[in-house]
């Protein structure tokens, strides 16, 4: 559902849903006992860094990418700051594209600013503080073409327009009174809805296309009186469908096929059991492997489907339609 996850022109009102759908962490933050596997979706993860921490952003920063910070605020905190900068020089200081600084004093607020040529610009202050002393948090920084968007614990907080080109940003720093359990860098290959919602028929773009190791999760509810629904992984520039999934409720058949060069291929129907029922919720997990797709429904493996399209990066669109209500889609 969500540049890589969401187009730069998308409405701020969508931010909360977008952040929640992409985040590999459950809503509401984290705790000191969280498993490191909770950041497995990231292309790079830093676990329990010593504060103050400064480290490189692998590959630099690009539109559509996300930085997730999982941590907690000590009971005696007065402030902490997150810096996204161009290098880590101290004399002269590297330019800072974004300083994000929660402050816990008598007038709690969040202050954002940029440093250019060793001089701070005009502060942007939000007199709203979602962080609490003694409590865990999850902060998500979404990078778009023209702004940073920040959410805390699944709720959109603010936007900050770029003052420094983001292609110069290559360093992440965090300092002050804060404990950090994990920092994750999420790449910009993800799904976003062109219409900005989950209404059917749904079309979601997969920027950069599919690649081995990626997962797609589809959650929804089958209609009360269903006939069938369809999930297609396809190429947006042609009519080719690399994977066509079509569960048919009345006959209890789950069709898998491909539509290539204006022709349907051989259907595959073998199934250990039919997993869908009228009115019932479901979760489809689709894993892209080097030579095949693997599919599970509600945690139970159903089948494999060998690739009939060898260039997986050409698969850049997800389509969903039919007798169901869509509640969530994400790629990780």
Among 30-34, 92-96, 247-251, the range scoring the smallest mean pLDDT is 30-34
> What is the pLDDT at residue 214?
86
Q: Which tokens in the block code for residue 206? A: 């997969």
Query: Which is higher by pLDDT, 16 or 74?
Result: 74
- Residue reference for tokens 């921490």: 53
Answer with the residue of higher pLDDT: 231 or 58.
Answer: 231
Q: Which residues contact 280 (CB under 8 A, 6 or more apart)?
A: 221, 222
Tokens 């007199």 appear where?
Answer: 127
Burial of 62 (0-12, 13-18, 19+ CB in 10 A): middle
Instruction: Give the mean pLDDT of 8-28.
Output: 37
Domains in the chain (CATH in brackets) are: 12-186 (2.60.120.200), 191-331 (2.60.120.200)
Query: By mean pLDDT, which of 17-31, 243-257, 315-329 is the weakest?
Result: 17-31
> Pick from 124, 128, 154, 129: which is nearest to 139 by CA?
154
Is pTM beyond 0.85? Reply is no
DSSP state at residue 194: T
Rounded Cα distance, 140 and 13, in Å? 16
**Cβ neighbours, 10 Å, residue 35:** 7
């Amino acid at each position: 559902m969500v540049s890589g996850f969401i187009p730069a022109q998308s409405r701020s009102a969508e931010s909360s849903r977008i952040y929640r759908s992409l985040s590999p962490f459950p809503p509401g933050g984290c705790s000191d006992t969280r498993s490191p596997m909770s950041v497995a979706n990231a292309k790079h993860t830093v676990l329990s860094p010593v504060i103050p921490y400064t480290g490189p952003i692998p590959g630099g920063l690009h539109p559509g990418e996300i930085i997730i910070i999982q941590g907690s605020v000590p009971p005696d905190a007065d402030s902490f700051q997150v810096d996204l900068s161009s290098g880590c020089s101290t004399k002269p200081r590297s330019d800072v594209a974004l300083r994000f600084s929660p402050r816990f004093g008598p007038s709690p607020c969040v202050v954002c600013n940029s440093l250019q040529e060793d001089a701070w610009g005009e502060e942007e202050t939000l007199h709203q503080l979602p962080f609490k002393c003694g409590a865990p948090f999850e902060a998500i920084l979404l990078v778009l073409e023209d702004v940073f968007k920040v959410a805390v614990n699944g709720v959109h907080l603010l936007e900050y327009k770029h003052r420094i080109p983001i292609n110069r940003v290559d360093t992440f720093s965090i300092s002050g009174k804060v404990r950090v359990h994990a920092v994750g860098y999420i790449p910009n290959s993800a799904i976003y809805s062109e219409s900005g919602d989950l209404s059917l028929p749904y079309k979601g773009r997969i920027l950069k296309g599919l690649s081995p190791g990626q997962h797609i999760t589809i959650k929804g509810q089958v209609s009360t009186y269903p006939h069938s629904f369809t999930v297609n992984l396809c190429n947006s520039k042609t009519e080719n469908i690399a994977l066509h999934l079509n569960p048919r409720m009345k006959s209890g058949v789950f069709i898998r096929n491909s539509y290539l060069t204006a022709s349907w291929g051989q259907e595959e129907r073998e199934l250990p059991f039919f997993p869908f029922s009228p009115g019932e919720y479901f979760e489809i997990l689709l894993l892209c492997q080097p030579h095949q797709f693997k599919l599970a429904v509600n945690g139970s493996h159903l089948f494999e489907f060998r690739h009939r399209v060898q260039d997986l990066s050409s698969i850049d669109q997800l389509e969903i339609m039919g007798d169901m209500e869509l509640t969530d889609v994400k790629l990780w």
